[in-house]
Structure 1
Amino acid sequence: MKKNMGNADRIIRTLIAVVAAYLYFSGTVPGTLGIVLVVVAAVFLLTSLVSFCPLYTLVGLNTCPAKKA
């Protein structure tokens, strides 16, 4: 897996995941919508930890800065 996420993207995804998890576990967003929110948060957290987003590959995005040779 080639990294395709930059640090800013990883930080934003992690923050979104933390906020989404807080909203679910505090009871602000209950039910099915809350479960969907937690699943999305888990995906965001996982992709930010491995610095790879499969959706970016399909769309052709790369937020990882280019390495200087």
Structure 2
Amino acid sequence: MKKNMGSADRAVRILLIVAIAILYFGNIVTGTLGIVLLVVAAVFLLTSLLSFCPLYTLVGINTCPAKK
């Protein structure tokens, strides 16, 4: 797996994870929507930790800075 996520992309995903967690555990978003958002947050967490997004590979996006 070649890294295809830059640090800014990872930071945005982590902020979204925190926002989703606050909404869910604060009982603002509940039910099916809450569970779907938790699954999305889990995927964001996994891709942020690995610095690799399979969807980016399919679309051809690479947010990593170019190596010189």
- TM-score past 0.5 threshold: yes
What is the identity, as a one-letter code, of the residue corresponding to 1:53?
C
Residue segments in structure 1 that go unaligned for 5+ positions in a row = none
Shift of 1:29: 0.2
Q: CA RMSD in A?
A: 0.5
> What SS is found at the alignment partner of 1:3?
coil
Residue segments in structure 2 that go unaligned for 5+ positions in a row = none
**TM-score, scaled to structure 1:** 0.96
**TM-score, scaled to structure 2:** 0.97
Written as runs of structure 1 = structure 2, the 5 A alignment for 1:1-69 is 1-68=1-68
Partners of 2:33 and 2:63 in 1: CA distance: 29
Partners of 1:15 and 1:65 in 2: CA distance: 21
What is the percent sequence identity of the aligned residues? 76
Shift of 1:45: 1.0
